[in-house]
């Protein structure tokens, strides 16, 4: 991955803390990453690792407690009011539960047109032309289904409608938060293929947040692995899945179930569960479950640094040799 | 395999719900057998009838608006058409079930230990002290650290993985011979999923149980079952050894299901072969093969006449007019 490409989104030391004092939970504890124009960055991790909160913080649905978010060179963490709303048209989010993210009592065409209605930048004719085009592109016939209510659709169709709505303002970037995890495999494949087609057509940049390792690998150019509020490894997807540098990534991949009876029987299973983000371990956050942990891991927090070109890891004892 | 080794024999089991829009055939005539110490996988998408099938085998259907026909012989006991009191004799001791959602299958305002020893006291007539001691043993058996302390915990104080371990402990309380696990790891993280599946495997060996593993995820059944049943629209469309299903499948739906799921081992941006359309409405099933409207190989016959299961080899059956070649490569 060439570092000369311009990042569309630049996140530095982003942190989100819920609550105060003794009960403060740092859901995201300082993450930095770039998303380059036209690429898909996958963000993967177990529940509670902060991946969804990161996505929400980028949209400012939750307020970051620290850090900066640069979208096309504009720092958006301090934006308010109209400026923030303007910035949000450049970046849209698609949520996990397709059914609850649409108002069941509104008509499909009005749901898709809502962003246009908010901005009042188009005439009535343009509005219906844009809505019809978007619905056609996501595979829903606007003349047959446009006047139906959202509640009349299945999960997969609702997700198509959500995608159409998110594209209405022609955003540069989509944040997809577990967008296929509620769908059956056959429908999931349809939606992933649709996303790939639309990405090419609209020149989109994606941040794809999911827990399913196979899905993340399928859609992403690069993958970032999160554990307990921090990024522990970032790299090109094929490289990272082939030769992970962080022990956590290796365990995560080892636990992924391959649909093949001849797959090598499961490697070492990670014992225990992630510690509480209220009181994270000192030093490396993974050290309490890491078989390679040594004294240094408790004393000193590993910093995310290059291990190979375009491949960063935050580990004192990485699993692959350093070539960068 | 002699009949003595058969733990479960299901014949032509059908479950039909009465709905406002007419009868809905959730399970439409399923036959299966399960041997002692065997793990059977039941795979299908949502609405394929796998959960209703499991609940019907258990005898857990609602009291009204449902018709069950066919036969379920569990260790020689008929479970269909008998009173609830009769079925109750076999719940827990012969067959127990682990449900999908560990949040809702435990009572949130009852300590977890109580939920385990309730079964022991009611079903096995144990004293309070004995039941408590046994419950702590069970918590230890399912790998819960400091079981003495956890005995007094409420479900809300445990993580999802721990709660599922507690649910497994309650299911195992009366030493059932058959454990029905309905999506036991859906909603759990991958590392926890691996722990729970390994635990079920291990307990099966230790306690000489048979297991029915119901899932939508082919990865879950690939290395943990000896036989698999693939369901679509309430019927069995293919059944065989795990190897037959993965490498020698004949039914196009089985292949479509296998190919539509992304794989960790394939390179990124591999185009997925999606199945067009979606599963049929169970109250308006097509006349022929239920999969025909979505099938790439469907012919006129597929739309008119429903294929019955036929043998592809020993223990391997499929329901299709235009099956794939025996290697699973091309249509024959």
Q: What does the angle CA A117 – CA A121 – CA A122 come to, to the nearest 5 degrees?
A: 80
Give burial (CB, 10 Å; 0-12/13-18/19+) of B159: middle
A300 at interface of B, judged by CB pairs closer than 8 A: no
Tell me the pLDDT tens digit for each residue of B248-283: 999 999 999 999 888 888 898 999 988 888 888 888
Q: Is residue B172 part of a domain?
A: no
H or E element in which residue A29 lies:
strand A25-36
Q: How far is the C-alpha of B274 from the C-alpha of B259, rounded, in Å?
A: 8
Q: Is residue B129 part of a domain?
A: no
Which of A190, A218, A253 is the best substitution to test chain B (most B C-beta atoms within 10 A)?
A218
B194 at interface of A, judged by CB pairs closer than 8 A: yes
DSSP B115-163: HHHHHHHHHH---HHHHHHHHHHHHHHTT-SSHHHHTT--GGGS-HHHH
Q: Report helix, strand or coil for B222.
A: helix
Alpha helices in chain A (DSSP H): 51-58, 81-90, 108-119, 124-137, 142-145, 155-167, 185-202, 213-219, 237-242, 247-255, 295-299
Q: Would you place residue A315 in the very low, low, confident or very high pLDDT band (cuts 50, 70, 90)? A: very high
Tell me the pLDDT tens digit for each residue of A91-127: 999 998 888 899 999 999 999 999 999 888 888 899 9
| CATH code: domain of residue A112 | 3.40.50.300
| Structural domain count, chain A | 1
pLDDT the model gives residue B159 = 85
**Predicted-assembly ipTM surpassing the 0.90 threshold:** no
Asked if B166 contacts B110 with a C-beta cutoff of 8 angstroms, the reply is no
Gyration radius (Cα) of chain B, Å? 21
pLDDT the model gives residue A272 = 79
Q: Would you place residue A265 in the very low, low, confident or very high pLDDT band (cuts 50, 70, 90)? A: low
Asked if B209 contacts B179 with a C-beta cutoff of 8 angstroms, the reply is yes
Sign of CA dihedral B119, B125, B131, B135: negative
pLDDT the model gives residue B328 = 46
Q: Is residue A14 part of a domain?
A: yes
Q: Which two tokens stand for residue A151?
A: 């509640």
The yes-or-no verdict on residue A2 having pLDDT over 50 is: no
Q: Is residue A187 part of a domain?
A: yes
Smallest CA-to-CA distance from A308 within A249, A253, A236, A247 is with A236
Chain A residues touching B279 at Cβ < 8 A: 184
Smallest CA-to-CA distance from B290 within B257, B332, B320 is with B320
Q: Is residue B228 part of a domain?
A: yes
| DSSP letter (8 states) at residue A180 | T
pLDDT the model gives residue B33 = 94
Q: Is residue B14 part of a domain?
A: yes
Of A46, A257, A258, the CB nearest to B189: A46
Q: Would you place residue A20 in the very low, low, confident or very high pLDDT band (cuts 50, 70, 90)? A: confident
The total number of residues written for chain B in this structure: 332
Q: Is residue B116 part of a domain?
A: no
Tell me the pLDDT tens digit for each residue of A124-156: 899 999 999 999 999 999 999 999 999 888 888
Residues 6+ apart with CB under 8 A from A80: none
Of A190, A219, A238, the CB nearest to B274: A190
| Structural domain count, chain B | 1
Q: Is residue A321 part of a domain?
A: no
Cα separations in angstroms, A85 against A60, A119, A169:
10, 10, 12
pTM of the predicted protein model: 0.87
Residues 6+ apart with CB under 8 A from A184: A156, B45, B46, B216, B279
Q: Is residue B190 part of a domain?
A: no
Quick one: angle between helices B112-124 and B128-141, nearest 10?
A: 120
Asked if B13 contacts B71 with a C-beta cutoff of 8 angstroms, the reply is yes
- Per cent of chain A over pLDDT 90 is 69
Q: Is residue A322 part of a domain?
A: no
B191 at interface of A, judged by CB pairs closer than 8 A: yes
- Strand ranges across the sheet with B6-19: B22-35, B6-19, B66-74, B77-78
- A258 CA: distance to closest CA in chain B (Å): 5
pLDDT the model gives residue B331 = 42
Q: Is residue B191 part of a domain?
A: no
pLDDT the model gives residue B4 = 62
Answer with the residue of higher pLDDT: A266 or B178.
B178
The yes-or-no verdict on residue A209 having pLDDT over 90 is: yes
Q: Would you place residue A73 in the very low, low, confident or very high pLDDT band (cuts 50, 70, 90)? A: confident
Asked if A140 contacts A168 with a C-beta cutoff of 8 angstroms, the reply is no
Q: How far is the C-alpha of A95 from the C-alpha of B91, rounded, in Å?
A: 40
| CATH code: domain of residue B87 | 3.40.50.300
DSSP B65-114: SEEEEEEEEETTEE-SS--HHHHHTTBTTTEEEE-S-TTTSS-TTS-HHH
pLDDT the model gives residue B330 = 40
Of B191, B192, B222, the CB nearest to A259: B222
Q: Report helix, strand or coil for A112.
A: helix
Q: Which two tokens stand for residue A213?
A: 């390792």
pLDDT the model gives residue A56 = 94
Mean pLDDT by 10 residues, chain B (332 residues): 77 93 91 94 91 92 89 93 90 90 86 91 91 94 91 91 92 93 86 89 93 92 93 95 93 92 88 87 90 93 94 94 73 40
Phi-psi region of B208 (alpha: psi -120 to 50; beta: other; left: phi over 0): left
Q: What is the domain range of residue A144?
A: 7-258+266-313
Q: How far is the C-alpha of A126 from the C-alpha of A136, rounded, in Å?
A: 15
The mean per-residue pLDDT over the stretch A161-175 comes to 94
A128 at interface of B, judged by CB pairs closer than 8 A: no
Q: What is the domain range of residue B3?
A: 1-94+178-183+215-262+272-326
Q: Which two tokens stand for residue B75?
A: 């260790």
**How confident is the prediction for chain A on average, in pLDDT?**
91
Asked if A65 contacts A25 with a C-beta cutoff of 8 angstroms, the reply is no
Q: Is residue B303 part of a domain?
A: yes
Interface contact flag, B222 A257, Cβ < 8 Å: yes
Q: How far is the C-alpha of A142 from the C-alpha of A149, rounded, in Å?
A: 12
């Amino acid at each position: 991955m060439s570092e000369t490409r311009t990042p569309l989104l630049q996140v530095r030391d982003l942190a989100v803390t819920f609550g105060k004092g003794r009960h403060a939970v740092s859901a995201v504890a300082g993450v930095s990453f770039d998303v380059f124009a036209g690429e898909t960055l996958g963000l993967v991790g177990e529940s509670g690792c902060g991946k969804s909160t990161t996505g929400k913080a980028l949209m400012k649905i939750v307020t970051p407690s620290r850090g900066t978010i640069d979208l096309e060179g504009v720092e958006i963490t301090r934006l308010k009011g109209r400026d923030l709303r303007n910035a949000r048209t450049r970046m849209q989010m698609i949520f996990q539960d397709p059914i609850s993210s649409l108002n069941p009592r509104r008509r499909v065409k009005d749901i898709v047109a809502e962003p246009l209605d908010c901005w009042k930048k188009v005439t009535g004719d343009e509005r219906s032309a844009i809505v019809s085009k978007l619905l056609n592109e996501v595979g829903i016939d606007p003349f047959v289904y446009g006047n139906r209510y959202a509640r009349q659709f299945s999960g997969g169709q609702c997700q198509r409608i959500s995608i159409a709505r998110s594209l209405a303002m022609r955003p540069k970037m989509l944040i997809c938060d577990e967008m296929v995890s509620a769908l059956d495999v056959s429908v999931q494949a349809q939606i992933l293929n649709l996303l790939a087609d639309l990405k090419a057509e609209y020149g989109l940049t994606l941040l794809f947040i999911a827990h399913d390792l196979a899905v993340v690998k399928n859609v992403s150019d690069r993958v970032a692995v999160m554990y307990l509020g921090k990024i522990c490894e970032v790299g090109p997807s094929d490289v990272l899945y082939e030769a992970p540098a962080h022990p956590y990534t290796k365990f995560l991949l080892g636990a992924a179930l391959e649909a093949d009876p001849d797959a090598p029987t499961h490697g070492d299973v990670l014992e225990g569960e992630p510690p509480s983000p209220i009181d994270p371990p000192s030093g490396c956050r993974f050290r309490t479950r890491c078989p390679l942990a040594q004294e240094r891991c408790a004393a000193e927090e590993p910093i995310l640094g290059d291990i190979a070109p375009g491949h960063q890891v935050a580990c004192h004892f990485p699993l692959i040799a350093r070539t960068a | 395999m002699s009949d003595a080794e058969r733990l479960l024999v299901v014949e032509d089991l059908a479950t039909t719900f009465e709905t406002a829009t007419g009868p809905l055939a959730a399970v439409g005539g399923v036959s299966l057998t399960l041997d002692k110490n065997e793990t059977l996988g039941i795979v299908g998408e949502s609405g394929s009838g796998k959960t209703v099938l499991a609940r019907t085998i258990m005898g857990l259907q609602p009291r009204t608006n449902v018709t069950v026909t066919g036969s379920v012989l569990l260790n020689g006991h008929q479970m269909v058409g008998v009173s609830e009191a009769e079925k109750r004799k076999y719940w827990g001791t012969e067959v127990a079930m682990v449900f999908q959602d560990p949040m809702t299958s435990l009572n949130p305002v009852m300590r977890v230990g109580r939920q385990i020893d309730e079964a022991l006291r009611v079903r096995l007539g144990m004293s309070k002290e004995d039941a408590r001691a046994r419950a702590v043993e069970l918590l230890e058996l399912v790998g819960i650290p400091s079981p003495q302390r956890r005995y007094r915990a409420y479900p809300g104080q445990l993580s999802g993985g721990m709660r599922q371990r507690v649910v497994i402990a309650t299911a195992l309380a009366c030493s059932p011979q058959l454990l029905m696990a309905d999506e036991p790891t859906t909603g759990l993280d991958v590392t926890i999923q691996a722990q729970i599946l390994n635990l079920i495997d291990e307990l099966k060996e230790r306690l000489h149980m048979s297991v029915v593993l119901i899932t939508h995820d082919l990865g879950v059944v690939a290395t943990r079952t000896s036989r698999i049943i693939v369901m679509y629209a309430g019927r069995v469309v293919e059944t065989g050894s795990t190897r037959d299903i993965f490498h020698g499948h004949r039914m196009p739906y089985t292949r479509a299901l296998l190919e539509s799921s992304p794989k960790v081992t394939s390179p990124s941006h591999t185009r997925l072969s999606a199945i067009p359309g979606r599963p049929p409405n169970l109250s308006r099933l097509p006349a022929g093969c239920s999969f025909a409207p979505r099938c790439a190989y469907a012919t006129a016959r597929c739309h008119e006449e429903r294929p019955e299961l036929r043998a592809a080899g020993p223990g391997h059956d499929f329901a299709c007019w235009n099956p794939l070649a025996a290697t699973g490569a091309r249509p024959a």
